[in-house]
Structure 1
Amino acid sequence: MTDLPLAIDFGTSNSAAALVQDGQLRRLTLDGQADTLPTAVFFPAERGPMQIGAAAVAALVAGEEGRFMRALKSVLGTPLFHESRPIGGRRRTLAEVVTAFLAETKTRAEAQTGLTFRRVLSGRPVHFHADPDRDARALADLTGCLSAAGFTEIGFCPEPEAAARACADLTGTRLGLIVDIGGGTSDFSLFRVTGARVEILASHGIRLGGTDFDRLLALDHVMPLLGQGGQLRREFGPGLLPMPNEIFVDLATWAKIPFLYTRETRNAVTQLAKFAVEPRAIGRLARVIEEELGHDIAFAVERGKIEANAGKPGAMIRLGKIERGLYAEIDAASMAAALVRARAELDAALAETCRLAGIAPAAVETAILVGGSSLMGLVGQAVTAAFPQAGQARGEAFTAVVDGLALTAAGA
């Protein structure tokens, strides 16, 4: 059977698939019994088969030799997406990696349902990138990957608009706002409900998400322990030079971590250590690069962020793999300070969504928060500040988008 469309939410951090079958919404469990599949891949060093999802994360945690990748969606539309690099024993592009991930998603969906899928409705952020040309390239990149994965009829729906269709009757609201904060983007849709009809009044999006929160927290809390912000002695003559920042930014960026483990990077760190005023910190950086601990740092930051967001006493970013007993303290106040720019971007985006819709903020009845990163306290705080008279509700954080995509694809 090939007439049913498959809905795919290919996310920066997690992905999901669903369909409407016999009039019922059906989420597919693509990774054990979970409704979502971590958007992560692992290539064993000895040319074994690519692993995806929880198996990829488990391979990294177990210390298996190989290449781990996450946040692949964030490089759609960039030159990096089509550059050929040594991955898993041969040269590949990230486009090939994403295609393989989507093809495996399709294969698992077909195995679970007994159907053959040729049609797909994929979610997309309102804007992959602020630049229109790069945004168009990102959409073309994702279209190409879906086609190469085996889909012959490909459609797209903005993710917050799909979430609005899934969540519109959540509170009985007539004028509502979807706040969809994912791993790579923040997207917003103002909608009006009339009877059974959901009308999208305006949608807006910015390139800001959970991986950006992680990057800012890593730069603020962790990278100074590795030498960021330090100084270098000049090779000749008196005076000091500032520590270059690029390597720390890349190390704090999920999508760029795998490409730091090169001879050039190792040589550069060796030079930094030679002239560093604080050699111990750069020694930690050297160990991170030599032992490929970048993703261990990223997961530690993510865990610390979750602890601090939940108000856990003594929350910290544990860095014991780098140095015994090493950690960075983190709490609500330090997070707020590190994320002040992100908060300002959220505030501006909420105001812009209302402006695009021609709706006064006071008219919004309910703000519905979806997306894994909507669980961050600063998101609820930003929404409260922008819409103090509106109620807040939570949709299914990780599946509202794919639910809405399935309903849209089925014409429900």
Structure 2
Amino acid sequence: MATRYCGLDFGTSNSTLALSADGRSFLCPLEGDSVLLPSAVFYDAEDHSVRFGRDAIRNYVEGVEGRLLRALKSVLGSTLIEETTLIQRKRVAMRAIIGMFIRHLKRTAEAHLAAIGMPGPLDSVVLGRPVHFVDGDEEADRRAEAELVAAAKAEGFRHVETQLEPIAAALAYEQSLDREELSLIVDLGGGTSDFVIARLSPERARQTDRAADILGRSGVHIGGTDFDRRLSIDKVMPYLGYDVLLGEKRLPMPQHLFHDLATWHKIPFLYTAQNLHYLRSIVLTADRPELLRRLIDVLAHRNGHRIAGEVEAAKIALSDAARVSFALPLEPPVAVDMTRADVDRAVHDDTTRLIAAIARCTAAASVKPEQIQSVFLTGGSTAIPAVRDRILGHLPNARAVPGDMFGSVGLGLAIDAQRRFG
């Protein structure tokens, strides 16, 4: 039987799975020919099926009755992992939904292996993990890793190890080198941003133990979904009553409703009878009741993920365009205009925190920013010009190396799996 292992990058926004079979590592197609699968699950209320990735998002956007869940990774290490959400009149635990998504990845990979003449179970995996699942809480961080490992084992992986995602990206980048470099690996994901400073070279790549080559690391719980949330609060939520004042005393609207509506993994928990009852009870006390009626419409028709998807798509488009527009799913529709300057403002404070995390990384490695020779950029948020430019500006002598924006971590995890299990 062919020897094969895998690396699984279960991401906040997207996931990849790379296979290491008979000495070579490659990304596995997960949806058609695409090796990238959006981390989305849709429960179809019409035929009671479960859909994943783009298929899940497409059915939701096309108006199929059902429930969409995204950013599942964000609940790891939080109290939300213990929560249940109502799906097809049943309460389903969030950890069960995560397990179902991992099971789908595993079965898809096994089907691909069978199709290329390597049938059999896939039972050894290296899971990617951020430097910090949870900032400033070591116990929650350990709990998050344990939950991820337990989910993989529950779905049939017998041998499960973990590796830091930026180290996995470093292992992938190293395959392309022809000389030694002092590199900063920048992995800006959907939910977390991670940094590693490492000495990389073709000679070092042949070594099994790389601990001495990892000079410093740091991470912060900031990612693309945080940029989405800030952009949504700034540019969308005012159309839904964010600035509405209530009653004779003109008290502000509860802000948590809008922040949750702008946060991918919290959206499903807003769709409750209690929230709708509350909003309907206060709508006539608002100074602009028509805005609250829009918010009621969004929650009643469960359009939160649709709005979040439009904001995310606008952010991505503004990496190349100067201005984009989209319509909020209301009757009548409401047009929203966004510019690259809006994105720049939305990411500014969080990017300052990213630079601080890089400074902690260089301090841990006992190197100065000007000593870094190359910056390997992976993760979708590295495409945002304001973020990328500030990072590169902090490292004046470093050569920017754009990696596979979404596949580098998964491929590096498979390379690590080959070393661990081979």
TM-score (norm 2): 0.93
Q: In structure 1, what residue type is equivalent to 2:374? A: T
Secondary structure of the residue aligned to 1:197 is helix
The structure-2 alpha-carbon separation of the partners of 1:252 and 1:293, relative to structure 1 and needing over 3 Å to count, comes to same
Letter in 2 for 1:132: E
- 1:174 maps to which residue? 181
| Contact preservation (8 Å) 2:180, 2:201 | no
SS at 1:117 equivalent: coil
Aligned to 1:303: 313
What whole-Å deviation, never above 9, does each CA across 1:104-129 have from its counterpart, x for those lacking one?
A: 11111111102311111110111101
Where does structure 2 lack aligned partners over 5 or more consecutive residues? Answer: 114-118, 206-212
Q: What is the CA–CA distance in structure 2 between the aligned matches of 1:49 and 1:229, rounded to whole Å?
A: 40
Letter in 2 for 1:250: D
Question: Following TM superposition, by how much is the alpha carbon of 1:251 offset from its aligned partner in structure 2, in angstroms?
Answer: 0.2
Structure 2 counterpart of 1:189, from 184, 196, 205 = 196
Q: 1:136 aligns with which of 139, 142, 149?
A: 142
Within 1, Cα distance between the matches of 2:165 and 2:282?
Answer: 44
**C-alpha separation in 2, matches of 1:190 and 1:338:** 28
- Distance in 2 (CA, whole Å) between partners of 1:84 and 1:404 is 34
The question of 1:154 aligning with 2:160 is answered yes
**Which residue type is aligned with residue 261 of structure 1?**
Y
CA contact (8 A) 2:2 2:22 kept: no
Contact 2:192 2:222 in 1 (8 A): yes
Compared with structure 1, are the counterparts of its residues 175 and 270 closer, same or farther at alpha carbon in structure 2 (3 Å cutoff)?
Answer: same
Mapped to 2, the partners of 1:250 and 1:272 lie a distance apart of 19
For 2:210, the equivalent position in structure 1 comes to none
Superposed displacement of residue 390, structure 1:
1.1
List alignment gaps of at least 5 residues for structure 1: none
Q: How far apart in 2 are the matches of 1:403 and 1:195?
A: 17
2:383 and 2:253 mapped to 1: Cα distance? 35
- 1:115 lines up with 2:124 in the alignment: no
Look up the match of 2:374: 366
> Is structure 2 residue 218 aligned with structure 1 residue 204?
yes
Shift of 1:47: 6.5
Q: Helix, strand or coil: the match of 2:20?
A: strand
Deviations 1:320-374 (A, max 9, x none): 4224352222112222222221111111111111011111101001111001121
Match of 1:56? 56
Letter in 2 for 1:206: V
Deviation larger for 56-65 or 246-255: 56-65
Structure 2 CA distance for aligned equivalents of residues 7 and 169 of structure 1: 16
**Structure 1 segment 10-409 matched on structure 2, within 5 A:** 10-46=10-46, 48-113=48-113, 114-130=119-135, 131-170=137-176, 172=179, 174-197=181-204, 199-234=213-248, 239-310=249-320, 312-316=321-325, 318-409=326-417
1:341 partner amino acid? D
Structure 2: distance between partners of 1:22 and 1:176:
29
2:199 aligns to what SS in structure 1?
Answer: strand
Structure 1 residue 249: deviation in Å? 0.5
Superposition deviation, residue 173 in structure 1 = 5.2
Cα distance in 2, alignment partners of residues 165 and 240 from structure 1: 57
Deviates more, 1:113-122 or 1:212-221: 113-122
**CA shift for structure 1 position 378:** 2.2
Q: Distance in 1 between matches of 2:396 and 2:332?
A: 46
CA distance in 2, matches of 1:276, 1:6: 55
State the alpha-carbon separation in 2 of the partners of residues 46 and 195 from structure 1: 54
Asked whether the 8 Å contact 1:163–1:178 carries over to 2, the reply is yes
Q: Which amino acid aligns with 1:346?
A: L
Alpha-carbon contact 2:175-2:202 (below 8 Å) kept: no
In the alignment, the residues of structure 2 paired with residue 280 and residue 82 of structure 1 have an alpha-carbon distance, to the nearest angstrom, of 36
Q: Name the aligned partner's letter for residue 233 of structure 1.
A: G
- 1:34-57 deviation line (CA, Å, top 9, x unaligned): 011111000122571211112111
- Aligned partners of 1:45 and 1:89 also within 8 Å: no
Distance 2:259 2:322 in 1: 29
* Contact residue 39 and residue 71 of structure 2 kept, 8 A: yes
Percent identity of equivalent pairs: 37
Which AA in structure 2 matches 1:139?
E
Q: CA deviation at 1:73?
A: 0.1
CA distance in 2, matches of 1:328, 1:309: 17
Q: Is contact 2:193–2:221 with CA below 8 Å preserved after alignment?
A: yes
1:367 and 1:383 in contact (8 A); partners too: no
| Alpha-carbon offset, residue 314 of structure 1 | 3.4
Q: Distance in 1 between matches of 2:20 and 2:371?
A: 33
TM-score (norm: length of structure 1): 0.95
Deviation at 1:274, TM superposition (A): 2.0
| 8 Å contact kept, 1:45–1:65 | yes
For 2:174 and 2:367, how far apart are their aligned partners in 1?
Answer: 18
Aligned length: 406
